[in-house]
Amino acid sequence: MPHPKGDQAFRNPDLHGRWPEMTYGGALSFLRRRYTRDLRGVDVAVTGIPLDITTSYRPGARLGPAAVRAASAQLAELPAFPWGFDPFERLAVVDYGDCYLDFGHPERIPEAITAHAREILAGGARLLSLGGDHFSTYPLLRAHAERHGPLALLQFDAHPDTWPDDGHRLDHGTMFRRAAEEGIIDVDHSVQVGIRTHAEPMGFTVLDAPWVHDAGPRETIRRIRDAVAGKPVYLTFDIDCLDPGCAPGTGTPVPGGLSSAQALAIMRGLAGVDFIGMDVVEVAPPYDTAGITALAAAHLAHDWLCLLASRR
């Protein structure tokens, strides 16, 4: 019998491996992984958080999860570069679909995201979330901290997101102050990379963009490893960490950011770190030239899976 081909997101009963697909056609799950909410035997569940009601400038990030899934199609074809292996031979990864959010009741959204994440984590899988605006990281952190205790946060971003917060507002620029004040994250072991705006640092190690450009990826990797050593690490990647030339499709772009090459080099240098979850957020397709922002986000998420697979 010939090998089955096409639409493996719906047709493939196996959690490992992959089928031949047309890059330009077929069902667009993340990396063509099987769509399911059955988490038996699953190592990582990928989910979308289609949120952008907390943005302070340009909206559109609610369309990010669909765009990142579409951009991931070509990554599903070949062995991972530069890793040289197929991560899906080592990891069982599924696409769990999107978190349902009722736009008519924004006050219910934080708990809806936390409950969604809590359900996945209770099934024993790690969680890879596709945003959506950056506020979604706060309820995701809450769910992860319930299982792991205070987390080391590794934040790639143009903005610290530690502006004043009243403990209630839905705002993509204040939630890490709230998380620090609530003890969800351990600021003594947390790192912000690529920052190029001012706000109170809250005790984080800050490796701002000019520092990264001067020091280079290798020294950045060393500083990150030193800071997070021995802690469970949650990685959040706001795509505006990248320079607008590499990621124009985002709500609050800031010149002077990291290149895609720098960001990927830093990510790939973090093998062995105890990552317990990741999100990539703030992809806003209405401003995305030729889909390059969604493509960068898909590569970053894919490389995080390769980091996990490299430990197997």
Binding-site residue set: 134, 157, 159, 161, 238, 240
Residues in the chain, total: 312
Number of other CB atoms surrounding residue 222 within 10 Å: 12
Quote the CA–CA distance of 177 and 168 in Å, as a whole number.
Answer: 12
**Tokens coding 276:** 């317990």
Binding residues for Mn(2+): 134, 157, 159, 161, 238, 240
- Residue 259 sits at the vertex; the CA angle it makes with 56 and 25, to the nearest 5 degrees, is 80
C-alpha to C-alpha distances, 59 to 25, 45, 119, 140, nearest whole angstrom: 28, 26, 28, 21
* CB-CB contact of 34 with 8 (8 Å): yes
> Strands, DSSP E only, in 157-306?
191-193, 205-207, 233-238, 275-281
* CB-CB contact of 47 with 96 (8 Å): yes
Quote the CA–CA distance of 295 and 60 in Å, as a whole number.
Answer: 16
Which residues 6+ apart lie within 8 Å of 199 measured at CB? 159, 160, 161, 162, 163, 173
**260-268 and 209-228 helices, crossing angle to 10°:** 10
Quote the CA–CA distance of 293 and 303 in Å, as a whole number.
Answer: 15
C-alpha to C-alpha distances, 94 to 13, 42, 100, nearest whole angstrom: 11, 7, 18
Residue 131 main-chain phi, psi, to 5 deg:
-95, 170
* CB-CB contact of 102 with 91 (8 Å): no
